[in-house]
Amino acid sequence: MEDIGYLTHQDNLFLSSDCLIRVSVTKPIGMIEQTIIEEYGPFLLRREIEIPLWLAFLLYENDVVKIIPPTWLSPENLSRIRAAETDNPGELIPLPDYFFEICEELFDEAPRCVDRLLECQGILAEIISLRSDKITQLLKGLSEALTRGSSSSLYTLPEAITSWELSKLRTLQFFYQGVQKIQSDPEKTVTDTKDEENEYSEYGYDEESSDGGHDSFDD
C-alpha cells in the first residue's frame, strides 16, 4: 500500500480535482488553452465532454456547463454498494478512485447537478457508517495482535481502505504509522508508542467531524 495515510483531507481533495468528469455545455465558448499543460474543448452547445473536476466547477460557476455526476453517484448504484458492504461484514468493498472526495465536492459545489441529492446523501452516510465499523474492528484486532507481540508483517491494511478514510480516521492514521515504525524496528511494540496514542481519540474521527461520530455529507 502506498503511503496515503500521511495525506491530509485537503491533500486528497486537491488530488481528486484532476479526476475527469463529464459535463454538458450550456454556453459555447470554444477552446480553453492551459499554457504548457493541455487544451480543453471545444465547448460546443449541448456537447458532452470530459474535463478535470477543478475546471468543471469553474465553468459551472460561470454557467458554461452542467456537471454530469459519475454513474455510480445515484441512489440505485449507491444502494448496491451499501448492500455489498452489508453482505460482506468482514471485508471492505473496493470503491471507485476518490469516491468520497468526489461525492463531497459535488455535494458542496454543485448540489443541483445531483439527482435526488438528499437520498444520495443518506445512503452515502450509511456506507460511511458501515465501513467505519469494519475499520474499527480491524484496528481493535491489529492493536490486540501487536500488543501480544505478533509479527506486524502478518497484518496489513486492506487495499480497499480509501485515502479519504485514512485522512479522516485519526486512530487509523496512528496505527498505520505505528505498524510502519514496528516494521522498521522489530524491537518496538505498539505499547512503546503509548504517549503518541494519547493525542488520538479511541477509534474516533478527527476534529473535522463535528458530531464526534460517523462522518456524513448531510446538510
Q: How far apart are CA 188 and CA 192, in angstroms?
A: 6
Q: What is the pLDDT of residue 208?
A: 43
Render each residue's pLDDT in the chain as its tens digit; 219 residues: 344 446 788 999 999 999 999 999 999 886 666 544 568 878 888 899 999 999 999 999 999 999 999 999 999 999 999 999 999 998 999 999 999 999 999 999 999 999 999 999 999 999 999 999 998 888 777 777 667 766 555 556 678 999 888 887 665 555 555 555 544 554 544 444 444 444 333 333 343 443 444 455 555
Q: What is the pLDDT of residue 158?
A: 79
Strands (E), the chain: 20-25, 30-34, 38-43, 48-52, 65-68
* Domain ranges, ordered by start, for the chain: 4-197
Cell digits for 1? Answer: 500500500
Q: Count the alpha carbons within 13 Å of 89 in the hemisphere toward its beta carbon.
A: 1
Q: What is the pLDDT of residue 66?
A: 96
Q: Count the alpha carbons within 13 Å of 204 in the hemisphere toward its beta carbon.
A: 14
How does DSSP classify residue 93?
A: P
Q: What is the pLDDT of residue 85?
A: 97
CATH fold of 4-197: Methane Monooxygenase Hydroxylase; Chain G, domain 1 (1.20.58)
Cell digits for 34? Answer: 492551459
CB 2 within 8 A of CB 11: no
Q: What is the pLDDT of residue 44?
A: 87
Instruction: Please provide the size of the chain in residues.
Output: 219
Cell digits for 119? Answer: 437520498
pTM for the full model? 0.72
